[in-house]
């Protein structure tokens, strides 16, 4: 894969880039405890993040082919897969500064919002490449950021694809929320029923114990009467 050349002049991407920390596949126990388990299975998360990465790489290539073909020639990038997302955003951020009329930065609130958007894309790429599970909120953030990029690049085809992903994720999360609530309600009802049964059994146990004590007392009295009747009359004390 060709390597992007180092630019002397700073650009948006350089201003926000940080050293990449390679994290383990699974989060540590304390982190898992704080965030609980992700609401979507990791397999689905990974499919989404890698799909977004591929879609955005395609959008960047299409934009460069139309507006900055000299970039493709200089880098010898012949298709969307010639460079990964972080390389595309790094190179195109320079174009965004130099040829701002070719992109719709008004879609994200102006140039000032661009670094934050690029940072979201960097996080997206990092999560996809290093297999890092993310929360539902973070996943939705990635999707919205991807949609914004497709919008400012004017790629309607990619916008449609990303909106379909967003719709599918929202549908899945909403369904999970509803079904999880049903499970929790059923559990609550079951626990309440068990608690009532427990109280009833405790009451029955106390009554049974009391009855046993009363029967034992009666048995002792009968035993005493039986022994008294068997003793000689003269021995019985008055």
What domain range includes position 219? 193-231
Q: How confident is the model at residue 198 (pLDDT cuts 50, 70, 90)?
A: very high
| Residue 2 belongs to some domain of the structure | no
Q: How confident is the model at residue 5 (pLDDT cuts 50, 70, 90)?
A: very low
Q: pLDDT, tens digit, for every residue of 40-80?
A: 899 999 999 999 999 999 999 998 898 889 989 999 999 99
Measured between alpha carbons, how far is 96 from 102 in angstroms, rounded to an integer?
Answer: 8
Number of structural domains (the chain) is 2
On whether both 130 and 215 belong to a single domain, the answer is no
On whether both 44 and 122 belong to a single domain, the answer is yes
On whether both 88 and 142 belong to a single domain, the answer is yes
On whether both 81 and 128 belong to a single domain, the answer is yes
On whether both 83 and 178 belong to a single domain, the answer is yes
On whether both 104 and 201 belong to a single domain, the answer is no
Q: What is the pLDDT of residue 25?
A: 40
Of the candidates 132, 122, 136, 125, which has an alpha carbon nearest to the alpha carbon of residue 23? 132
Q: pLDDT, tens digit, for every residue of 91-145?
A: 887 776 665 555 666 555 555 566 778 888 889 999 999 999 999 999 999 999 9
Q: What is the pLDDT of residue 235?
A: 58
On whether both 123 and 99 belong to a single domain, the answer is yes
Measured between alpha carbons, how far is 179 from 15 in angstroms, rounded to an integer?
Answer: 44
| Residue 238 belongs to some domain of the structure | no
């Amino acid at each position: 894969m060709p390597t992007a050349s180092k630019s002397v002049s700073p650009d948006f991407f350089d201003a926000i880039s940080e050293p990449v920390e390679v994290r383990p596949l699974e989060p540590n126990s304390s982190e898992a405890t704080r965030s609980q388990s992700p609401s979507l299975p990791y397999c689905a998360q990974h499919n989404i993040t890698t799909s977004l990465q591929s879609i955005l790489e395609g959008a960047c290539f299409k934009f460069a082919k139309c507006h900055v073909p000299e970039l493709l020639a200089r880098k010898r990038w012949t298709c969307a897969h010639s460079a990964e997302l972080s390389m595309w955003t790094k190179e195109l951020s320079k174009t965004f500064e130099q040829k701002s009329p070719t992109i719709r930065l008004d879609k994200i609130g102006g140039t000032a919002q661009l670094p934050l958007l690029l940072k979201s894309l960097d996080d997206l790429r990092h999560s996809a490449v290093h297999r890092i599970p993310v929360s539902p909120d973070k996943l939705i953030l990635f999707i919205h950021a991807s949609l914004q990029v497709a919008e400012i690049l004017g790629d309607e085809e990619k916008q449609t694809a990303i909106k379909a992903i967003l719709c599918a994720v929202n549908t899945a999360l909403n369904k999970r929320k509803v079904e999880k609530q049903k499970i929790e309600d059923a559990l609550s009802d079951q626990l309440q029923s068990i608690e009532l049964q427990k109280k009833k059994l405790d009451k029955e146990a106390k009554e049974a114990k009391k009855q046993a004590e009363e029967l034992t007392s009666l048995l002792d009295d009968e035993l005493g009467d039986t022994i008294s009747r068997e003793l000689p009359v003269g021995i019985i004390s008055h």
